[in-house]
Structure 1
Amino acid sequence: MPTAVLPQIPLYEPAPATNEPLDYADLAVIDLSKANTPEGRAELAVQVRDAMHTQGFFYVINHGLMPSQNARMFDIADAAFSQVTEDEKKILTSDFKITGAYEGYKLRRVWHIDSGVRDQIEQYNIHRHVRTQAHPKALTPLLPELDAFARFNHFEVLHPILRLFALGLELPEDTFVNMHNFDGPGDTSLRFMKYYPRSEDEEIATKNVWLKGHADIGSVSILWSQRVGGLQILSSDGNWRWVRHIENALVINAGDSMDFLSGGFYKPTIHRVTQPPADQRNYARLGIFYFSKPDDDVKLIPLSASPVLQRNGIKRRCDDADAPTAGEWRKGVTSAYGMTNLKKTESGVEEEVISGIVVKHYN
């Protein structure tokens, strides 16, 4: 990250931590500093493999970014919303339904949640090559920091995790790294996301769900932990459990693309966002994410050479000949999300078909 004198922007004041007695998921904590040696990677690979096969989520600590740098990024993330006019946001709004890629802003009230209620979520999406798109005036002086942060996420977090994923399948270390090139074709990107409090009527109509239960599109999602609660995962016993905030930690999960590539071994766990705990309900929920996807030309078929998959079996979501590329899958899901009429099953799960594959949404 840059060490020169930084442009001045308003400081973001995070909410106080919740004191509510929540039912938290028991997630593994991975010390990424151990990944610097072959012995450390071997140890971590087993921990990551077990976490991803059983829970689909884990925490990362000791990733290399200082708490002060973390706080600065939340200052920048908030500036993308609080320091940009509505008119400028509209000019820089993404036409993701046509392009199949998020770039620029997604404004509020675009996605349908339930019972006629639309979302109260703003996004600002930044391609990993940050200078390839137009940015609001407030962020232009911050582009060197955004560029450094995108590269940090890609090379210092994503690639080490992908190496652990490969080792966990007993494959060569760079198997997944070679599918996630920083200069390759694709939509791996940085995202700032702000959830705003809703009216009581909207909470009742949606049963307090702010973002439907879903699996992510890509391979690995990196969430920078923040204080306002709301993220929940669907546990194997069918119960939703909260994800606990850990200061300066990351929350990692796999998405559909990794599910395809790992033959169902690495779980794309269903997760959602709900109304925050009672003592945080007057606060907006600000998030920072790095959503990684394989290069667009990667065909999403199981890596059947893996000894682990050979021992455990492969679960295919479609025949290999019919499998989409990462680019086809990303465009199909992005274009449809929150925009299509979903078919509700008897269990209450909503479904749609993309590239011949059933995609489920949980409320």
Structure 2
Amino acid sequence: MSFQDIEAGFGTSASNNNTTFSTPESPEDAAFRSLQSSLSLQMLKINANVQGILKLVDQLGTGRDSAALRKSLHDLTDSTRAMAKRGSEDLKKLTNQQVKLPHQKTSLQKTSHDFQLSLIGFQRAQQLSAERQRTVVQGVKMAVEDGVEDGEIEQTSTSPSQRQAQILQAQLSPHELAYQESLIHEREEDIREIEAGVHELAEIFRDLGTLVHQQGGMLDNIDYNIQSVHVDTSRAAEELTTAHEYQRRAGRRAACLMIILVVVVAIVLLACETTPIPYSITYHYASSSITRDLILSFFLRKIDAHEKLKVIPVRIELLLSIRCPSGEKAMRVWTSNNMDSPGVGSIMLGTDEHLLLPSAHTLLLNVDDLSVYSEQLEHLPGYFAGGSGGSQLFCSNVKVASPPVPFKELPAWPSNVEAHPLLVIDYELLKAGDKTEIDRLWEAGSTLGFWYLKNHGGEQLFPAMWGMAEDVFALPLEEKMTFEQGDEGLSFGYKAVGHYITDAQGTPDPVEGLDIAKDDALAYPKVARRSYADRVNEHMEPTIAPFVEKCIELSNTMLDIFNDKLGLPAGTLAKFHQRNDHSSSETRTIRAPANLPQGKLAVGGHTDFGTISFLVNNIGGLQVLPPGDTEWRNVRPLPGHVVCNIADALTIFSGGLLNSNIHRVVPPSGAQSAYERWSSVYFTRPSNDTVLQPLLESSIVSDAFNKLTEERQKSLTPGVTSYEWFTRRQKNYRTKNHKGTETWAANRGTENGRA
């Protein structure tokens, strides 16, 4: 079976996906999409925070109410309010960008609609919080103000808040009553702050009024009469209409001025006799990230070849290329430079990250474009200045360098190597509840246990992890080893070559790796599980956290589908994978060296420890062992696709219905073997205290489990927690812990002796 046949029968063709994956987009579209992705991530965080606020509000006035709970509620509300403000500003910027991108109108409308829904949810959560706190305060006030003789409690009270007050009064001493009075003042202050926040949110809604008017008056039905704040909606509509017309006229004037400016600049450039000198600067400093509003200024010194010219109108193309969460981005600027008065060019970058320019660092220079390199620019005159605080980056001795290894153009899949057929699952269809696609996902999970996932929205996030790891791997080995996890059974941190065994004989692996705990990525800058190198921390917010957020989203969507297919009560699998519960969920980025001998294992045969895994790699090498087969089959990486697979916990929960299949990594075939192999993986694993056992409350699971052999049933009922399962396997994979074949046997999961 050819690979084209595979795609024809199992999903969208690879050729089509390749075409889509490689289609270039304009810098304006890239900036728009990057800012839109950032806003989507903020909406995701706002929605998650709203759920957290509602859970905390439910506990107010109960036995679980405490100062710590109220502080958590206060902090979560404040952080969500800040995100709402930031998101509002980003939406305004998106609206301004879309004026020049009419084809993005529908996309902007959807983003605006989703953001407004997020704000409405937050608004309602704040209102509920204020109402609940008023009820609690009223109850405490009654306890303080109304005496109850001899501590007796009237049983005739008809109000729950009155009964709560009487109980509280009967139990409190005078000192405690005084303390409660102080709490009343504190809570009333919280209520006033919440009311101010609700008012502030109403202001945000009004600030977005112009956009609302353009998109059909979506917020006409939102109640702005919040806590005595009266809004004259009819007058606002008139103001918005006037503003809208003014904006359109201003836009036309700006367009005319821009055309005139372009014509003038073109005439000036054509009048110049100097040949244009195009060149590009690529900034590859490890600790850098980008800021949306960063202005980079550059100056060129006098060039010897033009000393006799009084004016040097050199046309320059400056290409700044920096790896960021959505992949490698480049923004161009054209300018002219005068020998006596150097010109200044500015770049406005459309991302949310921050560029921290050091006081000195070597710039990497590429000529003409990123695929052409020259050794003749060793001593280009000039220097590059920029950053905050007047920091300068001198480049009088500029080095020429190629892009990072993972981004190099790589050889195609060898034509003589057969790829094993995997189903191609469309994530957008899964989210839409498409029954056929959901059935296909179940088929993939219950047979081979591997499938491709497309249209997942993380196409640039997985390769961005390669760039992050490359920066970290460049550190000295002794520094990296200070962040090696050790032998206690967890895997977070750096992994040197030879860290793991690949077979029963204890052969060490040839790969280098870096694991980041999900808990640390979400908690940053706080430390949840362990510390990391500073260079890792510099990538935590711009690269690692968005990657983790996307993988959590993918995982949750599929877990809900499998939950329904297994006939489990709603939310059963979700409760084992709570976002804020500690688990061994982690990212893993691996670099395998080029030119490994054929037959040398990079990663030995195994099943994954957790629930679901998500993988992207740049070249081949991944192999699967289909159930009942003895021949390893190759899995071909597809551009824009994630390779997903079922892991041990989901096999156990499902009573063996879902298949955690054996896989391994070998050297790539053909011309690809001459290149480093990069992999980005996310392992979803249950919360540490989750007991691994079949979920027999489902008749579907119990029927399947009862049909298994006694040996297989035993392998699927380990009777341990997720933490114990993971640490047992992890410890026995360590090369330092290997004592013989029994160590290899002790690191097995649900393979049941198949590898």
The answer as to whether partners of 1:33 and 1:62 remain within 8 angstroms in 2 is yes
- Counterparts in 2 of 1:332 and 1:51: CA distance versus 1, 3 Å: same
Structure 2 unaligned segments of length 5 or more: list them.
Answer: 1-36, 39-350, 357-363, 365-402
Query: Which protein is bigger by CA-based radius of gyration?
Result: 2
The 2-side partners of 1:281 and 1:358 are apart by 29
Query: Is the aligned partner of 1:153 residue 2:547?
Result: no
2:538 counterpart letter in structure 1: P
The 2-side partners of 1:336 and 1:74 are apart by 27
Match of 2:450? 57
Query: Is the aligned partner of 1:124 residue 2:522?
Result: no
Match of 1:304? 696
After the TM superposition, which of the residue ranges 139-148 and 122-131 deviates more from structure 2? 139-148
Match of 1:21? 416
Query: Is the aligned partner of 1:269 residue 2:661?
Result: yes
Query: Is the aligned partner of 1:337 residue 2:728?
Result: no
- Counterparts in 2 of 1:159 and 1:90: CA distance versus 1, 3 Å: same
Structure 1 unaligned segments of length 5 or more: list them.
Answer: 345-349
Deviation at 1:116, TM superposition (A): 6.3
Q: SS at the partner of 2:682?
A: strand
The percentage of aligned residue pairs carrying the same residue is: 24
After the TM superposition, which of the residue ranges 128-137 and 44-53 deviates more from structure 2? 128-137
Match of 1:243? 635
Deviations 1:20-51, CA, capped at 9 Å, x for gaps: 422211111111112333x32x4333212211
Deviation at 1:141, TM superposition (A): 2.4
TM-score w.r.t. structure 1 length? 0.85
Match of 2:672? 280
Q: SS at the partner of 2:608?
A: coil
Deviations 1:93-113, CA, capped at 9 Å, x for gaps: 111x22x11111011012233
Query: Is the aligned partner of 1:191 residue 2:580?
Result: no
The answer as to whether partners of 2:696 and 2:702 remain within 8 angstroms in 1 is yes
Aligned mate of 1:103, from 492, 498, 502? 492
The answer as to whether partners of 1:301 and 1:323 remain within 8 angstroms in 2 is yes
Q: SS at the partner of 2:502?
A: strand
Q: SS at the partner of 2:602?
A: strand
Match of 1:347? none
Deviation at 1:268, TM superposition (A): 0.8
Matches within 5 A, 1:75-224: 75-81=467-473, 83-95=474-486, 97-98=487-488, 100-113=489-502, 117-128=507-518, 129-130=520-521, 131=524, 132=527, 133-145=530-542, 146-154=544-552, 156-197=553-594, 200=597, 203=598, 207-224=599-616
Deviation at 1:172, TM superposition (A): 3.7
- Counterparts in 2 of 1:311 and 1:322: CA distance versus 1, 3 Å: closer
Q: SS at the partner of 1:318?
A: helix
The 1-side partners of 2:456 and 2:596 are apart by 38
Match of 2:258? none
- Counterparts in 2 of 1:321 and 1:21: CA distance versus 1, 3 Å: closer
The answer as to whether partners of 1:317 and 1:357 remain within 8 angstroms in 2 is no
The 2-side partners of 1:298 and 1:276 are apart by 37
Match of 1:36? 431
- Counterparts in 2 of 1:317 and 1:340: CA distance versus 1, 3 Å: farther
The 2-side partners of 1:243 and 1:173 are apart by 34
Deviation at 1:187, TM superposition (A): 0.9
Q: SS at the partner of 1:158?
A: helix
- Counterparts in 2 of 1:5 and 1:322: CA distance versus 1, 3 Å: closer
The 2-side partners of 1:361 and 1:123 are apart by 26
The answer as to whether partners of 1:17 and 1:227 remain within 8 angstroms in 2 is no
Deviation at 1:334, TM superposition (A): 0.7
Q: SS at the partner of 2:498?
A: coil
Q: Which has the higher strand share?
A: 1
Deviations 1:303-347, CA, capped at 9 Å, x for gaps: 113343244344454288861111110111111114434538xxx
The answer as to whether partners of 2:656 and 2:716 remain within 8 angstroms in 1 is no
Match of 2:43? none
The 2-side partners of 1:27 and 1:239 are apart by 16
Q: SS at the partner of 2:407?
A: coil
The 2-side partners of 1:59 and 1:216 are apart by 17
The 2-side partners of 1:242 and 1:342 are apart by 29
Deviation at 1:352, TM superposition (A): 1.5
- Larger relative contact order (CA 8 Å, sep ≥ 6): 1
The 2-side partners of 1:5 and 1:302 are apart by 44
Query: Is the aligned partner of 1:4 residue 2:355?
Result: no
Q: Which has the higher helix share?
A: 2
Deviation at 1:197, TM superposition (A): 3.4
The answer as to whether partners of 1:20 and 1:279 remain within 8 angstroms in 2 is no
The 1-side partners of 2:501 and 2:715 are apart by 32
Match of 1:45? 438
Match of 2:32? none
The answer as to whether partners of 2:614 and 2:644 remain within 8 angstroms in 1 is yes
Q: SS at the partner of 1:244?
A: coil
Q: SS at the partner of 2:674?
A: coil
Q: SS at the partner of 1:352?
A: helix
Q: SS at the partner of 1:118?
A: coil
Deviation at 1:119, TM superposition (A): 1.2
Deviations 1:106-129, CA, capped at 9 Å, x for gaps: 110122335664211111110112
2:624 counterpart letter in structure 1: I
2:498 counterpart letter in structure 1: R
The 2-side partners of 1:214 and 1:135 are apart by 28
Number of positions where the alignment pairs a residue of Structure 1 with one of Structure 2: 344
